[in-house]
Structures are given as structure tokens and as C-alpha cells.
């Protein structure tokens, strides 16, 4: 990816927040969607993201070249089914959830043909959660699993 790309993180938990932190530090324009207003506020105050929203986030998705889905498996499928209409044509999607059975096949069954889902899982984490504990260094020693589709 080149530096002009826009990336939207959906879910500012530990992994989503750490992705946002690392990508922002690398020079990408990072936006975020989360259900917690305090997570968006924290990430904005700390310079982890350039913009964020709890609702009315369609413009953030429409402007994103890539979307990192930091959602739990049970929420990921429904969220994507309901919000794929907002994606930019040609958008690249990936996730961080550890469960792939039932997720990958279902998403491949309904995803728009002009979007690409690459199921993945960074083997990283901590005993704490939330963007407040984000640390992009957790990815340095971690393996990264990509699931073929």
C-alpha cells in the first residue's frame, strides 16, 4: 500500500486500536467506527485516528481503500452484511477475529463482487482490551495467519 491510502478501522478494541496506531504512525490516513463514543474520543485525542464516528459513518467507509474489521465473529458477519452498501468500489477488507469457521464462507456468499475479503488473524494480544491499551508493538513478534478463500 502506498501512503495516500485511507484505511478505516471498524472496532477500536485492543487489536483495532493497535492497527490504527501503527498505520497512523506509518503515515496512512486512518479513520474509525466504534459503538463507544469514548473510544472514538480517546483515539482522536491521542492522534491514533484522523476521524471517527459512532453513527453516520457511511462517508468514512465510502472513503476507505481498505477496511480492517476488528469485531467479534458474531457481530462481524451481520455488520458487514448491513454496511457493505457503503463500501468504496474495489475496497479491500480484512479482519482480526480468531474464528473463521462459519465466518469466511458466509461473507463470501453475500459480499459485493467489487469488494475483496481477506480473512486474517494476527496472533497478538494482551490481557486488557480497548483502544486505551493500544500498542502497535504487539504485532512485531506475532505470526499473521491469512485464510485462503
Please state whether the predicted TM-score (pTM) of the whole model is above 0.75: yes
Contact 87, 62 (CB under 8 A): yes
pLDDT digits (tens), the chain, 149 positions = 444 599 999 999 999 999 999 999 999 999 999 999 999 999 999 999 999 999 999 999 999 999 999 998 889 999 999 999 999 999 999 998 776 777 888 999 999 999 999 988 876 776 777 888 788 888 787 778 787 77
CA–CA distance, 102 with 105 (Å, rounded to integer)? 6
pLDDT at 39: 96
pLDDT at 101: 73
C-alpha cell at 133: 491499551
Amino acid at each position: 500500500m502506498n501512503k495516500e491510502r485511507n484505511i478505516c478501522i471498524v472496532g477500536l478494541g485492543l487489536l483495532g486500536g493497535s492497527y490504527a496506531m501503527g498505520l497512523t504512525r506509518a503515515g496512512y490516513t486512518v479513520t474509525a467506527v466504534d459503538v463507544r463514543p469514548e473510544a472514538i474520543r480517546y483515539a482522536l485525542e491521542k492522534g491514533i485516528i484522523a476521524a471517527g464516528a459512532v453513527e453516520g459513518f457511511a462517508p468514512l467507509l465510502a472513503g476507505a481503500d481498505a477496511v480492517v474489521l476488528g469485531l467479534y465473529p458474531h457481530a462481524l458477519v451481520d455488520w458487514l452484511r448491513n454496511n457493505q452498501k457503503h463500501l468504496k468500489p474495489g475496497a479491500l477488507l480484512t479482519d482480526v477475529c480468531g474464528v473463521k469457521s462459519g465466518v469466511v464462507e458466509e461473507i463470501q456468499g453475500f459480499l459485493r463482487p467489487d469488494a475483496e475479503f481477506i480473512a486474517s488473524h494476527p496472533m497478538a494480544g494482551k490481557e486488557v482490551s480497548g483502544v486505551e491499551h493500544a500498542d502497535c508493538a504487539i504485532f512485531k513478534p506475532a505470526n499473521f495467519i491469512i485464510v485462503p478463500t
